[in-house]
Chain A
Amino acid sequence: MRNADAEIVIRVRGLVTRFGPQVVHDGLDLDVRRGEILGIVGGSGTGKSVLLREIVGLMRPAAGQIEMLGTDVQQATEAERAMLESRIGVMFQDGALFSSLTVRENVEVPMRAVPGLDPATRAALADLKISLAGLPYLAGDKYPSELSGGMRKRAGLARALARDPEIVFLDEPTAGLDPIGASAFDRLIHRLSRAMGLTVFLVTHDLDTLHAVCDRVAVLAERRVLVTGTMQEMLDVDHPWVHDYFHGPRARAALATAGKE
């Protein structure tokens, strides 16, 4: 049924990214396996969000190959791109909801591309996605400007999940949320990814999120993916930045809370 490397849904090889004279990625390799939640961490300016944008095809790298779901992202034809886009979902940092549409209409936008779907079914499925993302039923009628930051993120997630993608990309999903809201969002991501069999590509700074939901962590440093592995393996890496990151006071606090749960 499946060939051997179908297990890897995103394969990045030899990625080079430059902004003028500044080199962000230099020979970056990364594999994302089907069904896992992969956390991408790294200092500010190490190109985490840039990597995300390159994988989903919003930016072109200077060199290197990106393969997603068996398709070369950069060589893809229009039809292949459309096919690919229907199989992925992206949640941007502040939700990036269309401000002139209600939350329900926002979630319906990706579903409009599905042929033959009648408006009533579409609205009902949008309501289901809104509810799955943990928003109250009546939030569907609201406009993005009427929602709090946390609710906007949930609405953004609902839109990213609208077409039941195989891979979702989340850019700093818990940034700017209060700790209760952030941990609720962590549980939501975990629950959804397990229930829907999602692969999650998660860019984050939040150590609690890493502990709570990520199966594997990839550390971006020195213009490449320095190490990948589970949280436990990260603790044993003796690269100075990685060590500081996972052994700093905040990391220990996050580890302590994760241990208690």
Chain B
Amino acid sequence: MTDAAAEIDTVATEPALILRIRGRLTLAEMAGAGARLRAVAADRPVTLDLSRLLRLDTAGAWAIVTLRARLAAEGHALRIEHAAPEVESLLVAVEAALPRAESEPRPRRSLPDRLDALGRRVAGAGHTGAEMLGIFGLFLARLGRSLVHPREFRLTALVHHCEEVGFRAVPIVALMAFLIGVVLAFQGAVQLRQFGAEVFVVDLIAISILRELGILLTSIIVAGRTASAFTAAIGSMKMREEIDAMRTLGLDPAAMLFVPRILALLLMLPILGLIANVAGLFGGGLMAWLTLDISPGMFLTRLVDGTDVENVMVGLVKAPAFAVIIGVVGCHAGMKVGSNAESLGRQTSSAVVAAIFAVIVADAVFSVFFAQVGI
């Protein structure tokens, strides 16, 4: 027995066109013999001789059955001869299962449809904002409740999340702030040297890190680390119906999941911001010493004299707001996860993007506010 590709012999006799299939008519033959078979043009009844057929699978049977259907539509009969019993039964099974094309063509999207979709997205964005506000409200309500009933408060979970969110983020945050300080000192030195005003590099570093960069970059890193972790953790619980199980057991998901997470962020982000400030100043001071010969003592004097402590306050006062934004976005995205893994991935990445975006927008709002009140 050989793996012969199927061949179709065509014999035109008077009453009927005889097609004889030799070899195996299988899925692998669909590009060749199968396509030729389905494309047979007939002007008279057709007889299909299967006496030399070696093997037929559902793809081959489909080719025969669709040929028969097409010929019938053109008004010619197809007769099958010398089919083995199993071939016969396969043809019957395939014919019975042949899907009827009942699908209507996809409707084209018109301009009103597009406008409608746009409107829905805008309304959806408003709705999402309202939902996030709802989660924030729920967080405050449950937090207030646990003040009244301290026994319901989940201290262990809070400590665990503080470790995850805060302690474990210290190395990356400190390293990032250190490098930013180094870069600022270096770039500032290059520019300020032109005016002989090298010593002002201390003010440059201090004000930019303490007011803006320290807390903003820390929040962006935490948004990337923690918002995604919140979404993944809550989302996978949602996916496996654990959150529904909590509800039926009388446990409140908001109190169990949102409060410890958002509260941990609220406690940890100012601390991380402070660490970032210190690391940034250290990096800047080191670079100033190495490239500008500003000794650490001089740096410190200049820092204390020239920079108001107000700058630190202006920076760190933003931390709680950023913490709430990151926590709420992460928890909200987690609750939006559906029943499949794909939506978990989509929500996780969108949580990171939304959290970073919201943090930057909030930072801009703070800047405008501080400028207006003159701090």
Given known pairs A116-B32, A137-B102, A145-B340, the reply for A125 and B93 (CB within 8 Å) is no
The A148-201 residues at the B interface (CB cut-off 8 A) are 161, 163-164, 191-192, 194-197
Q: List 23 A-B contacts (CB under 8 A).
A: A1-B1, A99-B342, A114-B31, A118-B35, A124-B66, A125-B30, A127-B99, A128-B94, A128-B97, A131-B97, A132-B58, A137-B99, A137-B100, A137-B102, A141-B103, A144-B340, A145-B342, A161-B58, A163-B27, A164-B26, A164-B57, A196-B57, A197-B90
The interface residues of chain B, by DSSP majority, are classed as helix
Let me know if A132 and B59 touch, CB within 8 A: no
In this complex, what residue of A is CB-closest to B1? A1
Chain A residues in 8 Å Cβ range of B66: 124
Q: In this assembly, does A212 line the interface, its C-beta being within 8 Å of a C-beta of chain B?
A: no
Q: In this assembly, does A4 line the interface, its C-beta being within 8 Å of a C-beta of chain B?
A: no
Number of residues from B at the complex interface, CB < 8 A: 33
Given known pairs A131-B98, A138-B103, A191-B93, the reply for A145 and B31 (CB within 8 Å) is no
Let me know if B342 and A132 touch, CB within 8 A: no
Let me know if A132 and B338 touch, CB within 8 A: no
Given known pairs A124-B62, A131-B99, the reply for A195 and B90 (CB within 8 Å) is yes
Chain A residues in 8 Å Cβ range of B62: 124-125, 128
Complex Cα gap A130–B341 (Å): 24
Complex Cα gap A188–B28 (Å): 25
Let me know if A129 and B31 touch, CB within 8 A: no
Q: Which one, B86, B98, B99, B340, contacts A197 given CB within 8 A?
A: B86
Which B residues have a C-beta under 8 Å from some C-beta of A? Answer: 1, 26-28, 30-32, 34-35, 57-59, 62, 66, 86, 89-90, 92-94, 97-103, 338-343
Let me know if A125 and B59 touch, CB within 8 A: yes
Let me know if A145 and B35 touch, CB within 8 A: no
Other contacts beyond A116-B30, A164-B26, A164-B59: 20, CB < 8 A: A99-B342, A100-B342, A117-B31, A128-B58, A128-B62, A130-B99, A131-B98, A131-B99, A137-B99, A138-B102, A141-B103, A143-B340, A144-B340, A195-B89, A195-B90, A195-B92, A196-B57, A196-B90, A197-B86, A197-B90
Shortest distance from the beta carbon of B200 to any chain A beta carbon, whole Å? 55
Let me know if A114 and B30 touch, CB within 8 A: yes
Chain A residues in 8 Å Cβ range of B102: 137-138
- Going nearest first, the 5 A-B pairs with the smallest beta carbon separation are A116-B31, A164-B57, A195-B93, A145-B340, A131-B99
Chain A residues in 8 Å Cβ range of B26: 164
Shortest distance from the beta carbon of B284 to any chain A beta carbon, whole Å? 47
Chain A residues in 8 Å Cβ range of B90: 195-197
Interface size range of chain A in the complex: 20 to 34
Let me know if B97 and A132 touch, CB within 8 A: yes
Chain B residues in 8 Å Cβ range of A197: 86, 90
Q: Which one, A121, A141, A161, A196, contacts B35 given CB within 8 A?
A: A121
Q: Which one, A124, A163, A194, contacts B89 given CB within 8 A?
A: A194
The A99-147 residues at the B interface (CB cut-off 8 A) are 99-100, 111, 114-118, 121, 124-125, 127-132, 137-138, 141, 143-145
Complex Cα gap A161–B90 (Å): 14
Let me know if B31 and A115 touch, CB within 8 A: yes
Complex Cα gap A197–B97 (Å): 17
Given known pairs A1-B1, A128-B62, A137-B103, the reply for A117 and B97 (CB within 8 Å) is no
In this complex, what residue of B is CB-closest to A163? B27
A182-224 vs B, CB cutoff 8 Å, 1 = contact: the mask equals 0000000001101111000000000000000000000000000
Chain B residues in 8 Å Cβ range of A144: 340
Shortest distance from the beta carbon of A137 to any chain B beta carbon, whole Å? 5
Complex Cα gap A132–B94 (Å): 7
In this complex, what residue of A is CB-closest to B91? A195
Complex Cα gap A218–B89 (Å): 29
Complex Cα gap A124–B93 (Å): 16
Q: Which one, B31, B58, B100, contacts A196 given CB within 8 A?
A: B58
Shortest distance from the beta carbon of B236 to any chain A beta carbon, whole Å? 14
Complex Cα gap A121–B90 (Å): 19
Shortest distance from the beta carbon of B40 to any chain A beta carbon, whole Å? 16
Complex Cα gap A1–B1 (Å): 6
Let me know if A128 and B31 touch, CB within 8 A: no
Shortest distance from the beta carbon of A182 to any chain B beta carbon, whole Å? 21
Q: Which one, B35, B58, B86, B89, contacts A129 given CB within 8 A?
A: B58
Given known pairs A128-B94, A137-B100, the reply for A145 and B1 (CB within 8 Å) is no
